[in-house]
Structure 1
């Protein structure tokens, strides 16, 4: 049974890695202002997910809550591919939040690299938002004059 469980975890890790690569490319292609909006959306989604009984199943229908993982990453990934910029941003934020909670305390070593990559991207988003806020605050102050 452990072999089957590990095989399932490895398959899931590969799928998340493929999706992550596309999500990361989408994030890198965003302008700085949009990235800071994405950082705020992602923070909100992570907070909403953490309030749920099963955070890794955030975005999944309640009747499917006993699955090993939910449909949040699938929904977020499909929305991230949208031509509508707002829908794509919300999809990326949803994907990041659900993938974060899914990989957060995973006992499977195949999912731990994904968690580290997610933490790196979340930190970059946070820093981009903080940098933009500091620049805006500086511009409003008398120092820019």
Structure 2
């Protein structure tokens, strides 16, 4: 049974890694302004997911709660590939939030690798947001965290 669990986790890590590459490509395709908006929205989505009983199932319909993993990454990934920029940004933010919660306490090395890459991407979005000229320092990433 343990071997089966590891195979499932390894397959999931491969799937998340592939999706993360596509998500990163979609982020690079966004304008600077939209990437800053994405950083803010991703932080809010992560905060909202944290308030759920099962953060890694955020965005998953309640009737699908007992699947090995939620549908949030799949929903977000589908939306991230949309031609509509607003839908794409919201999809990317959803994907980042769910993938963050799904991988943050992972024991498998390949899932930990996905988590590190995800954290690197979130850090880049955070740094871009902090580097933006604002009149008030409270509007930065930390100020958005307090709002979320």
Q: Which residue of 2 aligns with 1:113?
A: 113
Question: Whole-Å Cα distance in 1 between the matches of residues 106 and 60 of structure 2?
Answer: 19
Question: Whole-Å Cα distance in 2 between the matches of residues 88 and 131 of structure 1?
Answer: 23
Partner SS, residue 126 of structure 2: helix
Give 1:92 shift.
Answer: 0.2
Q: Which residue of 2 aligns with 1:36?
A: 36
Question: Whole-Å Cα distance in 2 between the matches of residues 22 and 93 of structure 1?
Answer: 13
Structure 2: gaps spanning 5 or more residues: 137-148
Question: Whole-Å Cα distance in 1 between the matches of residues 107 and 75 of structure 2?
Answer: 25
Q: Which residue of 2 aligns with 1:17?
A: 17
Q: Residue deviations 1:91-141, cap 9 Å, x none?
A: 000000000000010122220000000000000001101111xx2339xxx
CA RMSD of aligned residues (A): 1.1
Query: Which shifted more, 27-36 or 111-120?
Result: 27-36
Question: Whole-Å Cα distance in 2 between the matches of residues 109 and 2 of structure 1?
Answer: 16
Question: Whole-Å Cα distance in 2 between the matches of residues 86 and 34 of structure 1?
Answer: 9
Question: Whole-Å Cα distance in 2 between the matches of residues 28 and 86 of structure 1?
Answer: 15
Q: Which residue of 2 aligns with 1:123?
A: 123
Question: Whole-Å Cα distance in 1 between the matches of residues 40 and 110 of structure 2?
Answer: 29
Q: Residue deviations 1:4-42, cap 9 Å, x none?
A: 111000100000011000100111121211111000100
TM-score, length-normalised on structure 2?
0.89
TM-score, length-normalised on structure 1?
0.91
Q: Which residue of 2 aligns with 1:8?
A: 8
The answer to whether 1:62 aligns with 2:62 is yes
Q: Which residue of 2 aligns with 1:73?
A: 73
Give 1:65 shift.
Answer: 1.4
| Aligned with residue 136 of structure 1, among 126, 134, 139 | 134
Runs of 4+ in 1 over 4 A off after TM superposition: none
